[in-house]
C-alpha cells in the first residue's frame, strides 16, 4: 500500500531524511519511532504531498506522491502535529467542510461525517464550537478529520500527544479498530505506544532508519543478551565478586538500597544461556538471603536507546 | 468546482460567524452615511447660495447637485476602502498558516488556484455586501432629483468601487500569504496600498516615465468611473492588476511547500 524508496530531504545543508526505504502492507499499522527531530514529521509531510522530497520516490496506493499528488491526497487522511481545526466552526460543520474538500460525494457526506464523529465519540458535542473544546477533544476532531473521507491510508503525526491517560487508551483502541480497513502510519516518541498499537516499527534516528521489525522481534532479537535482576541481602562487593565467577555471566552491576542492607544486582548474560538456577545456587551456597530473582527482557526502551544513543553524544542540534 | 465552492463557503462562514463582519460593515455604513449626509447638505447649501447670487445678478448658474454629491461620495468610498480592506485581508492566509490549517488544505485534493480564488471571491463578496446598502443613499437621492441623473453614473461608480476594491483585496491577500503575523500583514498591506495610490503623483515626473508611473496608479483610473465613464483601458488595468496578484498568491502558496515550515 505504501512503498518508500531512497527518500531524501535536505534543507540547505542539513539533511532531515537520509535515503530511507520501507514498505507498509494493506491493513497494517506501522509505528514511526524516533527522538524529536529524527525526521518523522518530514517523512510524513512528504508522504502526504505537503512537501516534495529532494530525491527518492514514495508511492501510496500505487500513486507517486510527486507526480500524482491529487490522487495521493484523495487516498490519505492526515493528522498533522497540531490538529488543523478552525476554532470558530462547530465540529459538525468543520467535518462537513473537510468532507467537501476531500471530494466526498454529496450523497454520502452526511453519513461520512456522522460516522467519523461516532468513531471518535464526538456525536454528543457535534454542535459545539471547536474553540470551546479541550485539548483532548480537539485531538479527536483532528482524528475524525483524517477519517471523514474513509481513506485507504491514514497518517497520524503524534496522535496521542497532549492527551490524558484515559484519552490515550481511547485513541489507541480507536487506531487499532481502524486497522484492517485502513493502512495506518503513526509517529510517536513514546515507546510503549508502538508495542501496544503497531504491527511493525520503523526506528528512525537522525534521518536514517535504525531498525524495521515487529515490536516482539525487536525486543527478543536485538538485545545482546538477557538480564537477570536479583535482590540479595549481602555486601555489594562480595556479591559482585561471587557472581562474576559464575560461567555465562558477562557483566554484574550492584546497587545498594539506601534504607536496608539489601542490594539490587543486575546480571547480564551471554546470548542463549539460561543461568538463573546457577546464580540462585551460588547465592544460596554463599549463605546470603535471596529475596528476589527474575529475568528481565530488554524493553523497547533499551533497544531504542541502544540503537540511537551511540551517536547521540555528538549529535548536532536536530531538525523537526 | 466542488472544492472551490467548499473553500468559498468556509470563508464566508468564517466572516459571518465571528463578530468581525458585523462590526466592520456597521462602522463602514456609519461613516459612509455620515459623509453622504454631509456632502448632500454642503452641495445643496452651495447650490442655493449660487441660486441666490444668480437672482441678484441675473442668469442663475446650473448646479448638478446629484452629480457633485456622487463624485464626492465615490471619492470618499475610495478613501474608506484604503483603511478597511487591509483589515479584511490581513488574516486570509496569515491565520491559516498560524493555525496549521494550511497543511490541511495543502494535503487535500484542492489546487492552489482553487484555494486562492475561493478566498479572493469570498472577500470580494463580503466587500460587495458592505457596499450594497450605500447604494440606497444614492438611489433615493437620484429618485428625488429633477431632472433625474442617468443611472449609468451610479452603475459606473459602483463598478469602479468594486474594481478598485477587488484590486486592493488581491494585493492584500497576496501580502497576507507572505507572513504568519496578521499585524505585519495589515501594516504592509496598508503601506503597499498607499504606494500604489500615490503613484498618481508621478505625473510630476518628466515625460514618458511620468505617464507610465501615472498609468500604474490604482486611483488614477478610478476618476473616470466616478464621472460615469467606463474606459476600456481602465478595465484592462484593474483586471490585469487583480490577475497579477492572484497569480502571485498562487505562486506564494505553492512556494510554502519548498520552504521549511
Summarised one tens digit per residue, pLDDT across range A98-115 is 999 999 998 999 999 999
Q: Which residue has the higher pLDDT, A240 or A222?
A: A240
Contact of A91 with A128, CB cutoff 8 Å: yes
Q: Which residue has the higher pLDDT, A255 or B242?
A: B242
Tell if the CB–CB gap between B104 and A76 is shorter than 8 Å: no
User: Which pLDDT band holds residue A272 (cuts at 50, 70, 90)?
Assistant: low
Mean pLDDT (whole number) for A56-65: 91
Contact of A208 with A19, CB cutoff 8 Å: yes
| Dihedral angle sign, alpha carbons of residues B51, B225, B211, B249 | positive
Q: What is the pLDDT of residue B203?
A: 61
Contacts 24+ apart (CB under 8 A), B227-233: B227/B71, B227/B153, B227/B156, B228/B150, B228/B152, B228/B153, B228/B156, B228/B157, B229/B156, B230/B156, B230/B159
Min Cα distance A107 → chain B (Å) is 13
Mean pLDDT (whole number) for A202-223: 78
Q: In chain A, what residues touch B260 (CB-CB under 8 Å)? A: 11
Say whether A210 sits in a helix, a strand or coil.
strand
Say whether A63 sits in a helix, a strand or coil.
strand
Closest by Cβ to A73, choosing from B102, B107, B260? B107
Give the span between the Cα atoms of A102 and A107, in whole angstroms: 14
Write the CB contacts of A265 (distance below 8 Å, at least 6 apart in sequence): A229, A230, A231, A232, A239, A240, A243, A252, A253, A254, A255
Residue with cell 538480564: A227
Tell if the CB–CB gap between A86 and B18 is shorter than 8 Å: no
Q: In chain A, what residues touch B101 (CB-CB under 8 Å)? A: 84-86
Q: Is A170 left (phi over 0), alpha (psi -120 to 50) or beta?
A: alpha
DSSP A291-315: EEEEEEPPPHHHHHHHHHSTTTTTP
Q: Which residue has the higher pLDDT, B7 or B205?
A: B7
A102 touches chain B (CB under 8 A): yes
Q: Judging by beta carbons within 10 Å of its beta carbon (0-12, 13-18, 19+), is residue B240 exposed, middle or buried? A: exposed
Q: ipTM of this model? A: 0.85
Give Cα B106 to chain centroid, integer Å. Answer: 29
Whether pLDDT at A319 is above 50? no
Contact of A9 with A53, CB cutoff 8 Å: yes
Give the span between the Cα atoms of A100 and B14, in whole angstroms: 16
Q: Judging by beta carbons within 10 Å of its beta carbon (0-12, 13-18, 19+), is residue A196 exposed, middle or buried? A: middle
Residue with cell 511620468: B210
Tell if the CB–CB gap between B257 and A52 is shorter than 8 Å: yes
Q: In chain A, what residues touch B102 (CB-CB under 8 Å)? A: 84
Start-to-end CA distance of chain A, whole Å, equals 26
Q: What are phi and psi for residue A89, nearest 5 degrees?
A: -105, 155
Mean pLDDT value across chain A: 84
Whether pLDDT at A317 is above 60? no
Whether pLDDT at A39 is above 50? yes
Whether pLDDT at A312 is above 60? no
Chain B residues contacting A via beta carbons under 8 Å = 2-3, 5-7, 9-10, 13-14, 17-18, 99-111, 257-258, 260-261
Contact of B221 with B238, CB cutoff 8 Å: yes
Q: Judging by beta carbons within 10 Å of its beta carbon (0-12, 13-18, 19+), is residue A259 exposed, middle or buried? A: exposed
Residue with cell 437621492: B141
Whether pLDDT at A311 is above 60? no
Helix, strand, coil distribution of chain A in percent, nearest 5: 35, 30, 35
Nearest alpha carbon to residue B175 among B260, B227, B253: B253
Amino acid at each position: 500500500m505504501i512503498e518508500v524508496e531512497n527518500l531524501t530531504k535536505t534543507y540547505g545543508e542539513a539533511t532531515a531524511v537520509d535515503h530511507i526505504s520501507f514498505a507498509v502492507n494493506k491493513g497494517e499499522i506501522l509505528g514511526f519511532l524516533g527522538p524529536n527531530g529524527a525526521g518523522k514529521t518530514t517523512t510524513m509531510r512528504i508522504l502526504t504531498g505537503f512537501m516534495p522530497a529532494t530525491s527518492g520516490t514514495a508511492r501510496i496506493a500505487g500513486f507517486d506522491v510527486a507526480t500524482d499528488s491529487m490522487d495521493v491526497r484523495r487516498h490519505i487522511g492526515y493528522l498533522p502535529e497540531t490538529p488543523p481545526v478552525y476554532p470558530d466552526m462547530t465540529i459538525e460543520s468543520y467535518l462537513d467542510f473537510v468532507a467537501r474538500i476531500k471530494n466526498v460525494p454529496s450523497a454520502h457526506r452526511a453519513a461520512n461525517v456522522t460516522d467519523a464523529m461516532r468513531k471518535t465519540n464526538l456525536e454528543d458535542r457535534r454542535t459545539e464550537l471547536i474553540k470551546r473544546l479541550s485539548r483532548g477533544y480537539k485531538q479527536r476532531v483532528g482524528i475524525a478529520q483524517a477519517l471523514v473521507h474513509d481513506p485507504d491510508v491514514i497518517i497520524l503525526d503524534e496522535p496521542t500527544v497532549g492527551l490524558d491517560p484515559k484519552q490515550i487508551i481511547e485513541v489507541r483502541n480507536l487506531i487499532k479498530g481502524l486497522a484492517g480497513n485502513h493502512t495506518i502510519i503513526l509517529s510517536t516518541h513514546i515507546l510503549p505506544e508502538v508495542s501496544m498499537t503497531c504491527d511493525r516499527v520503523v526506528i528512525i534516528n537522525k534521518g536514517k532508519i535504525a531498525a524495521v521489525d515487529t515490536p516482539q522481534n525487536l525486543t527478543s532479537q536485538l538485545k545482546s543478551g538477557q538480564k537477570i535482576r536479583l535482590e540479595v541481602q549481602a555486601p555489594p562487593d562480595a556479591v559482585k565478586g561471587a557472581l562474576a565467577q559464575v560461567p555465562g555471566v558477562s557483566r554484574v552491576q550492584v546497587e545498594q538500597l539506601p534504607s536496608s542492607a539489601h542490594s539490587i544486582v543486575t546480571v547480564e548474560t551471554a546470548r542463549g544461556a539460561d543461568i538463573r538456577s546457577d546464580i540462585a545456587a551460588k547465592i544460596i551456597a554463599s549463605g546470603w538471603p535471596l529475596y528476589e530473582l527474575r529475568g528481565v527482557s530488554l524493553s523497547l526502551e533499551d533497544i531504542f536507546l541502544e540503537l540511537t544513543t551511540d551517536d547521540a553524544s555528538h549529535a548536532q542540534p536536530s531538525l523537526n | 468546482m466542488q472544492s472551490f465552492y467548499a473553500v468559498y463557503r468556509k470563508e464566508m462562514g468564517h466572516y459571518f460567524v465571528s463578530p468581525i463582519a458585523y462590526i466592520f460593515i456597521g462602522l463602514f455604513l456609519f461613516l459612509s452615511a455620515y459623509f453622504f449626509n454631509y456632502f448632500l447638505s454642503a452641495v445643496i447649501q452651495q447650490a442655493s447660495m449660487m441660486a441666490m447670487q444668480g437672482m441678484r445678478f441675473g442668469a442663475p448658474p446650473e448646479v448638478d447637485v446629484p452629480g457633485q454629491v456622487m463624485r464626492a461620495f465615490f471619492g470618499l468610498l475610495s478613501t474608506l476602502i484604503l483603511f478597511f480592506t487591509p483589515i479584511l485581508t490581513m488574516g486570509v492566509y496569515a491565520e491559516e498558516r498560524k493555525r496549521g490549517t494550511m497543511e490541511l488544505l495543502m494535503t487535500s485534493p484542492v489546487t492552489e488556484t482553487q484555494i486562492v480564488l475561493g478566498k479572493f471571491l469570498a472577500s470580494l463578496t463580503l466587500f460587495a455586501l458592505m457596499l450594497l446598502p450605500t447604494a440606497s443613499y444614492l438611489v433615493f437621492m437620484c429618485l428625488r432629483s429633477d431632472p433625474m441623473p442617468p443611472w449609468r453614473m451610479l452603475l459606473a461608480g459602483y463598478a469602479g468601487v468594486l474594481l478598485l476594491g477587488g484590486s486592493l483585496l488581491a494585493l492584500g491577500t497576496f501580502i497576507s500569504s507572505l507572513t504568519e503575523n496578521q499585524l505585519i500583514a495589515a501594516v504592509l498591506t496598508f503601506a503597499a496600498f498607499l504606494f500604489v495610490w500615490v503613484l498618481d503623483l508621478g505625473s510630476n515626473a518628466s515625460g514618458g516615465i511620468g505617464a507610465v508611473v501615472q498609468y500604474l496608479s490604482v486611483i488614477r483610473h478610478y476618476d473616470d468611473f466616478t464621472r460615469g465613464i467606463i474606459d476600456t483601458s481602465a478595465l484592462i488595468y484593474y483586471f490585469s492588476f487583480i490577475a497579477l496578484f492572484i497569480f502571485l498568491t498562487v505562486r506564494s502558496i505553492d512556494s510554502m511547500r519548498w520552504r521549511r515550515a
